[in-house]
Amino acid sequence: MDHLILREIGKIYRSINTFVDFLYEPLELKKGQYQFLTRIYEHPGINQQTLSAILLLDKTTVSKAVSKLIQKGYIKKQTNPEDKRNVLLYLTDKGEKTCSFLIRNEQFISNVSNQGFSEEEYQHLLSQLKKMNNNVLPLFQEAKKRDREQLLKRIDHSDLMRSSQKTTVAIIDIHHPLYESERNLRNKVLLRPIGLPDHAWEKKDAISWHFVAVKADKVIGCFVLVPLNTQKNKTQLIQMAVDTAYQGKGIGKLLIDTLKQFCRENQIEEVCCHARETAIDFYKKSGFSIYGTPFEEVGLKHRHMRIRFNKNEWNE
């Protein structure tokens, strides 16, 4: 799901904000004001224009925040002797003392956040976040132009480009580069929601065909087709999974249509499956029929289902 990373970043931001707001309550620093102090601490003599650029805030917001912090005695202004139009910002003694407290706490939060990361993992994450920041920075710059109509046109164009990316189905084995992505999707959609450990259902992967639906180089759907006999004409469909962002958009149907064509081309007589109750209607619409009695598997109600192909349907 494309937006999951941004949602996780949002959670991190809100957690830290809640912690910081509580900790800094006695200082009478309102939300976000402490970042002005730490930046001025790091860049003594910085002007408001540069401070605005570093914090990605408009000049009006910076000007108001600076005025309030001057009133509270945290920072002071000095005129640049070389350019009297250029006003420089410095911390007062109160600001210096407060900043030592802020930086100590910032280091504590960083230590907590970085627990469990190796140096290599930390540097890789930092690199990826910088890349993401560079990607979204133009959005900030465009928003500053206040041209809402142009931004909406860009969003519409992005939607059009995304929808035009065709979804294809590939049939792969465990040595294919897409196999790892398929495994991750099965873990996320099938195993974790019912409390099973990752990779718990991979014993038959090596002998099976793997059908993966791919959109823009991303695996968004899959299933595994296991041969049940040496002739490989009796098979079982297992672990059908579609990324939650693409469910209800025809990906399952596309996978089953590819399966049917594959069976006709490879003289497969039967495909059976264990269908969860919630998936029975989907399989019925795809040509599968119920047989046998209901049963439970991994704590969920299932039905035996199958689809058969006669020789007249085979592509000789």
Same domain, 192 and 297: yes
Using CA atoms, how far apart are residues 137 and 140, in angstroms rounded to an integer?
5
Asked if the structure places residue 152 within a domain, the reply is no
What CATH number did the domain enclosing 21 receive?
1.10.10.10
Q: Is the pLDDT of residue 315 over 60?
A: no
**Mean pLDDT of the 178-182 span:** 94
Q: Is the pLDDT of residue 84 over 80?
A: no
Which pLDDT score is estimated for 1? 42
Looking at 78, 94, 115, the residue that finishes a domain is: 115
Q: Is the pLDDT of residue 30 over 90?
A: no
Which pLDDT score is estimated for 205? 94
Asked if the structure places residue 282 within a domain, the reply is yes
Same domain, 194 and 271: yes
Asked if the structure places residue 110 within a domain, the reply is yes
Which pLDDT score is estimated for 189? 94
Same domain, 301 and 181: yes
Same domain, 111 and 170: no
Of all residues in the chain, the percent with pLDDT exceeding 90 is 53
E strands, 173-268, where?
A: 209-215, 218-227, 234-242
Same domain, 284 and 170: yes
CB 169 within 8 A of CB 258: yes
Same domain, 297 and 193: yes
Q: Is the pLDDT of residue 140 over 80?
A: no
Asked if the structure places residue 17 within a domain, the reply is yes
Average pLDDT, the chain: 88
Buried (b) or exposed (e) across 139-168, using 16+ Cβ within 10 A? eeeeeeeeeeeeeeeeeeeeeeeeeeeebe
Asked if the structure places residue 254 within a domain, the reply is yes
Same domain, 95 and 223: no
Buried (b) or exposed (e) across 248-280, using 16+ Cβ within 10 A? eeebbebbbebbbebbeeeebbebbbbbbeebb
Each residue of 240-263: pLDDT tens digit?
A: 999 999 998 899 999 999 999 999
Asked if the structure places residue 133 within a domain, the reply is no
Same domain, 104 and 233: no
**Mean pLDDT of the 122-138 span:** 86
Q: In 3D, which of 18, 130, 132 has the Cα closest to residue 122? A: 130
Domain range for 46: 4-115
Same domain, 105 and 27: yes
**Mean pLDDT of the 62-90 span:** 88
Same domain, 188 and 285: yes
Using CA atoms, how far apart are residues 43 and 36, in angstroms rounded to an integer?
10
Q: In 3D, which of 54, 72, 64, 213 has the Cα closest to residue 140? A: 54
Residue 144, C-beta contacts closer than 8 angstroms, at least 6 positions apart? 58
Q: Bridge partners of 307? A: 271
State the total domains in the chain. Answer: 2
Same domain, 111 and 184: no
What CATH number did the domain enclosing 279 receive?
3.40.630.30
Q: In 3D, which of 16, 15, 56 has the Cα closest to residue 39? A: 56
Asked if the structure places residue 235 within a domain, the reply is yes
**Mean pLDDT of the 120-137 span:** 87
Using CA atoms, how far apart are residues 273 and 266, in angstroms rounded to an integer?
19
Same domain, 92 and 174: no
Q: Which of 66-75, 130-139, 210-219, 306-315 has the lowest mean pLDDT?
A: 306-315
Looking at 73, 100, 115, the residue that finishes a domain is: 115
Q: Is the pLDDT of residue 3 over 70?
A: no
Tell me which residue has tokens 């087709």.
225
Looking at 115, 146, 179, the residue that finishes a domain is: 115
Q: Is the pLDDT of residue 127 over 50?
A: yes
Using CA atoms, how far apart are residues 16 and 110, in angstroms rounded to an integer?
10
Q: In 3D, which of 200, 203, 210 has the Cα closest to residue 175? A: 210
Each residue of 187-235: pLDDT tens digit?
A: 999 999 988 898 888 899 999 999 999 998 899 999 999 999 999 999 9
Q: Is the pLDDT of residue 160 over 80?
A: no
Asked if the structure places residue 121 within a domain, the reply is no
Using CA atoms, how far apart are residues 226 and 207, in angstroms rounded to an integer?
7
Which pLDDT score is estimated for 314? 58
